[in-house]
Amino acid sequence: MTPALDLAFEIRAHLAPARHVGHGDGESLAFTPITGGTVTGPRLTGTVLPGGGDWGSTRGAVCQLDARYLLQAEDGAVIDVVNRGYYRLGADCPAQYEEDGLQVSEAGVYFRTAPVFRTDAPAHRWLAETVFVGLARPEDEGRTVVIRMYALR
């Protein structure tokens, strides 16, 4: 059986300008603060709490992402997110669309994440017990990142 993905929700995280942290031999490190945002979808609704951020380590043409932030579900439960992934440009990356025609990734951009969620809220334990894949895309000239979270079935 081939694995399938089901849309769980979409995160719209608002970002402050990136801050250069440092660099090593062929590497650059930056921190991008997360200032808030929204969570909408069929399985989770809420907000992105301000205070988290994303550390991006760029080597050559590939940026390795390591984000940590909090979500608050509309019932008040707090959910910890550790979201790792990669961003790179490449002609081998096609645009991807939902069945209703919504574009969820840009052509020529590989921007994928593998989030892990933690919470002790009984209504949201499914998040901590499910494997997810995120398709990400920038919006608002990079001031917002939108991540469509898909649960692996």
Q: Token match 């025609």: residue?
A: 101
- 19-65 pLDDT, tens per residue? 999 887 889 999 999 999 999 999 999 999 999 999 999 999 899 99
3-state secondary structure of 32: strand
Distance CA 43, CA 139 (A): 23
Residue 105 confidence (pLDDT): 79
pTM as predicted: 0.92
In order of their start, the domains of the chain are 5-152 (2.40.160.20)
Give the pLDDT confidence of 71-86 residue by residue, as tens digits: 999 999 999 999 999 9
Distance CA 71, CA 102 (A): 24
